[in-house]
Homo-oligomer: A and B are copies of this chain.
Amino acid sequence: MTEVEAGKPQTTLQSHLARVEELLRRHRLVEGLAHRQEGLHHDLVENLVHRQNLAELQREIDQLHPADIAHILESLPQEDRQSIWNLVKSDRDGEILLEVSDAVRESLLAEMDTPEILAAAEQLDADELADLAEDLPEDVLYTLMQRLTAEQRERVQSAMAWEEDQVGALMDFDMVTIREDVSLEVVLRYLRRLKEIPDHTDKLFVVNGDNLLTGVLPVRWLLVNDPARNVSEVMAADANTFHPEDDVTETAQAFERYDLVTAPVVDGEGKLIGRLTIDAMVDVIREAGEAEALSRGGLREGEDIFASVWRSVRNRWLWLAVNLVTAFIASRVIGLFEGSIEKLVALAALMPIVAGIGGNSGNQTITMIVRAFALDQISPASAKRLLRKELGVALINGVIWGGVIGIVAWLLYGNPALGLVMTLAMTLNLLLAAFMGVVIPMGLLRMDRDPAMGSSVMITALTDSGGFFIFLGLATLFLI
Contact = CB atoms under 8 A, between A and B. Distances in A.
Contacts of A76: 382
Interface size class, chain A: 35 or more
A438 to B, nearest CB: 11
Contacts of A369: 305
A356 B323 contact: yes
Contacts of A294: 367, 371
Given A320-B397, A401-B320, A408-B328, A293 B289 contact: yes
A292 to B, nearest CB: 5
A480 interface: no
Given A356-B323, A376-B71, A366 B297 contact: yes
A215 B4 contact: yes
Contacts of A282: 255-256, 278, 281-282, 285
Contacts of A58: none
Given A4-B237, A328-B408, A356-B327, A376 B14 contact: yes
Interface string A170-195: 00000000000000000010011011
Interface in A299-335: 299, 302-303, 305-306, 309-310, 312-313, 316, 319-321, 323-324, 326-328, 330-332, 334-335
Count this chain's copies in the assembly. 2
Nearest to A355: B352
A349 interface: yes
A286 B278 CA distance: 14
10 contacts: A1-B258, A6-B266, A192-B223, A256-B283, A289-B292, A292-B293, A312-B393, A316-B364, A328-B408, A331-B349
Interface of A: 1-7, 10, 12-14, 17-18, 21, 65, 67-68, 71, 74-77, 188, 191-192, 194-197, 199-202, 212-215, 219-220, 223-227, 237-243, 246, 250, 253, 255-259, 261, 266, 268-270, 278-279, 281-283, 285-286, 288-290, 292-294, 296-299, 302-303, 305-306, 309-310, 312-313, 316, 319-321, 323-324, 326-328, 330-332, 334-335, 338, 341-342, 345-353, 355-357, 360-361, 363-364, 366-369, 371-372, 375-379, 381-382, 385-386, 389, 392-393, 396-397, 401, 404-405, 408, 412, 456, 464, 468
